[in-house]
Structure 1
Amino acid sequence: MGNEKQLPRGVTVRGDTINITFTFKGVRCREPLSNLPNTTANVRYASRLLAEIQGKIERDLFSYADYFPRSRKLKIFGAGSRAARVENYLDEYLVRCERRGLSPSTIVGYRKCKSALNPLHKILVSDLNPAILKAWLSETTTTAKTARNNLSFLRSAIDEAVTDGLLPANPVSLINVARYREAISSNEASSREVDPFTPAEVEAILCAADRRPQWSNLFRFAFATGMRSSELCALRWQDIDWIGSTVTVSAAKVVGVIKGTKTRAGNRTIELTPEALAALQAQKDHTFLLGGVVFHDPKTGTAWAGADAIRKKAWVTTLKLAGVRYRHTYQTRHTFATANISRGCNLFWLAKQMGHKGPEMLFRHYGTYLSEYDGQTSKEPILIQNGTR
């Protein structure tokens, strides 16, 4: 074909590669059309493509990534595409979190957030605005806490769209959940209140669990120690000091993965009551010789995957059989705390047993119980035996 002087303005040929040159945001850009053979027809196509790009630049509609997704210039202009949808940025953020090595439980939580945001997935990121978010928020039936978690995940993902130049600001930052979900927030607050089991309910639960001895041992130990379900899942036989009647708590199991306790103070040594020791002695028949984790799921013969597995597979069924009003497994911990408070135990001792830095957390959660027993300072723990105190 002819020499380069006969080519349309902005179109050049180097070897067998057609290039187009244009200015975007004050930067002179040259991009090769390496997938096009050097023919007269393709040169004309390059000229039309260049005109299209220049037209979009003039109307502020040009997205570099749409035309040149592999260009090195994306480091300057960002990888955002005008055609990108909310789901694309949610997926990108998830991948980034996995590469950062966030805990498996966090990743699982983020995936749940993505699923909850499904009504927003197909919306163009460039079209996302507060009105759309308010409409979505008003239609969701989740608790306010869950809504905040979902929006926090979305905000972090959309921050990247702002970086890519698809949005001037993050619209999620303008949404306040409390403003639109006040009624649900108040209901949610009441559902999180301390709601311990009575001695009669404890007895009914343990009697119902006796049908599955390993369930019974697990629940008896939970009521007698105040340990979190995630900590019970990670408890090993080597953590038990039979001579000193103590157990060392240093790990928790979340989504099938062993990790550290919830807080630094969570690493602790718990004094075992006769009821707790009896539960361990009974459990010996099932898992002691295996030398690993103390509590197993009797249906699978393996260690519990996590707190949620205990709740779904054993706890819900047991409460139904016992005829006891449903409360979360965490209420076994509240029951341990309030039972000891009602006896007037030493609060510093109780805080240490539960893995708190000090008694301040006890005042925050169990203030009404503390006010009823002000002045009592017994150190000895309460014994929960067959539901009696």
Structure 2
Amino acid sequence: MGKIRSREETGCLFFDFRVNGARCREQTTLKDTKANRRKMEKVLERIEREIVAGTFDYGTFFPGSGRASQFESRPSTPSVGVTPSVGSVDMAAAPVPPAVIERATPTFSEFTEVWLTENDAVWRRNTMISTKVHVNGYLLPRFADKQIHQILKADCLAFRADIAKTGGSMKKRTLSAKTVNEIMQILGAILAEGADRYEFPNPMQNVKRLKTQKVHIDPLSFDEVEKFIANVRPDYKPYFTVRFFTGLRTGEVHGLQWRYIDFERREILVRETYSHLGREYTKNDGSQREVRMSEPVYQALKAQYEASGTLSEYVFCTSVGTPIDPLNVNKRVWKPTLKLLGMKDRRFYQTRHTAATLWLASGEAPEWIARQMGHTSTEMLFKVYSRYVPNLTRQDGSAFERLLLQRMGGGVE
């Protein structure tokens, strides 16, 4: 027995019935009122009479439905013991439903608003903000008024081509493949959820990501680290000592508070991050960790406590006690110091990469290093950093070379 139901998200009615054992749900734009329910119940009665008679034509009733092709040239099977006849169906009335009964789904704008609201309690604030930037800047201008089931794969590919071309961004700057993939990932997530709820094929299902260039890390050598710390502004020596020898992320360093510094156990408790959006939970659960203080880090934090321990809850702060701005540090301290020392210009984040390569070079266990870095496994460690280990430890294949010479070449020259 079919039913007329109401979609909770939109308040619109939809048909819920079965054809040849398959459950079918077809949306409408009719609001849930008594009059509209009566109207749809009459149509549902006709549908069920034709299903019983074996004369039901899905495409006639729902011409815009993706289900129409599924039942094309497959008339509904008559119920057992029922013989189709003119008397069992109102053959005088042509089975043409009202126009409003054609497939109806929310517009992309309407559904995206629902989708964002549902994820608001799940996502981190930064994730929500960055998602809204892409939604408002790229997706809504392109798809806002289009019903979500009407967005085709060709539309998605054309959209990707437009934003990936030169000057295709909001500010007429060319977007990187990484950013294009981020935008397309959001589009895919919205359409996948819509396809699941409203039962239409997901147009993004087989759309592949753009290939991105591998980002090569460029850590400092130990000599460069020593030289940098010796010549950087005195008030930033503790800051860069902590960055170079703990591998903390930028947000983790800037969000570090004195209550998370355990001098007795010589541990830094990574619990929060800080950005221009404010204080927040770490990147993920795996980033919640305890980082061991080496002696230089311990001494640097002791010195920093003398400077700011009573001024602010934040370890590294401004003269008024607020967290320091990473963009300001990058522009006024990091880059000028590199330039002053004649070192290669590098991204600020290389301090984290430097810590990882120095730990590996010293022979620390990869599992321990991964925990210090906030990685859940050693996979990232070996994938990103292992190529730097041979140059730092001299474990570069020379041991195997000596073995071959001894066994096959008569000794080492």
TM-score category, normalised to shorter length: 0.5 to 0.7
Deviation beyond 6 Å, 4+ runs, structure 1: none
Query: Are the counterparts in 1 of residues 367 and 378 from structure 2 also a CA contact under 8 Å?
Result: yes
Corresponding residue for residue 383 of structure 2: 364
Corresponding residue for residue 328 of structure 1: 347
Q: 1:344 to 1:162 in 2, by over 3 A?
A: closer
CA RMSD of aligned residues (A): 3.6
Corresponding residue for residue 125 of structure 2: 104
Kindly report which structure 2 residues correspond to 1:243-262, keeping only aligned pairs within 5 A, or say none. 243-253=264-274, 255-260=277-282, 262=284
Corresponding residue for residue 153 of structure 2: 130
- Unmatched tracts of structure 2, length 5 or more: 1-32, 46-95, 165-173, 397-413
Q: Which of 341, 350, 360 is equivalent to 2:369?
A: 350
Q: Distance in 1 between matches of 2:241 and 2:138?
A: 36
Q: 1:208 to 1:370 in 2, by over 3 A?
A: closer
Q: Distance in 2 between matches of 1:157 and 1:357?
A: 29
Does residue 220 of structure 2 align to residue 197 of structure 1?
yes
Query: Are the counterparts in 2 of residues 233 and 303 from structure 1 also a CA contact under 8 Å?
Result: yes
Cα deviation, 1:50-91, whole Å, max 9, x if unaligned, reads xxx95414xx6464xxxxxxxxxxxxxxxx34xx2x333322
Q: Which of 184, 204, 208 is equivalent to 1:172?
A: 204
Kindly report which structure 2 residues correspond to 1:35-46, keeping only aligned pairs within 5 A, or say none. none
Q: Which of 163, 169, 180 is equivalent to 1:147?
A: 180
Query: Are the counterparts in 2 of residues 226 and 333 from structure 1 also a CA contact under 8 Å?
Result: yes
Query: Are the counterparts in 1 of residues 131 and 186 from structure 2 also a CA contact under 8 Å?
Result: yes
Cα deviation, 1:294-327, whole Å, max 9, x if unaligned, reads 122x2763135xxxx51x2221333432325543
Corresponding residue for residue 22 of structure 2: none
* Offset at residue 279 of structure 1 (A): 2.5
Corresponding residue for residue 77 of structure 1: none
Higher relative contact order (CA 8 A, sep 6+): 1
Q: 1:279 to 1:271 in 2, by over 3 A?
A: closer
Q: Distance in 1 between matches of 2:379 and 2:269?
A: 23
Paired residue type of 2:115: Y
Paired residue type of 1:252: T
* Offset at residue 173 of structure 1 (A): 1.9
The alignment-based identity, stated in percent, is 22
TM-score (norm 1): 0.63
Q: 1:122 to 1:243 in 2, by over 3 A?
A: closer
TM-score (norm 2): 0.60
Kindly report which structure 2 residues correspond to 1:148-297, keeping only aligned pairs within 5 A, or say none. 148-162=181-195, 165=198, 168-177=200-209, 181-182=210-211, 185=212, 187=213, 189=214, 191=215, 193-199=216-222, 202=225, 206=229, 209-210=232-233, 213=235, 215-253=236-274, 255-260=277-282, 262-264=284-286, 266-274=288-296, 276-290=297-311, 292-296=313-317
Q: Distance in 1 between matches of 2:102 and 2:195?
A: 15
Q: 1:230 to 1:132 in 2, by over 3 A?
A: same
Q: Distance in 1 between matches of 2:264 and 2:241?
A: 20
Query: Are the counterparts in 1 of residues 270 and 287 from structure 2 also a CA contact under 8 Å?
Result: no
Secondary structure, counterpart of 1:278 in structure 2: helix
Q: Distance in 1 between matches of 2:289 and 2:355?
A: 18
Does residue 359 of structure 2 align to residue 316 of structure 1?
no
* Offset at residue 246 of structure 1 (A): 3.4
Paired residue type of 1:365: V
Q: Distance in 2 between matches of 1:194 and 1:103?
A: 27
Does residue 117 of structure 2 align to residue 95 of structure 1?
yes
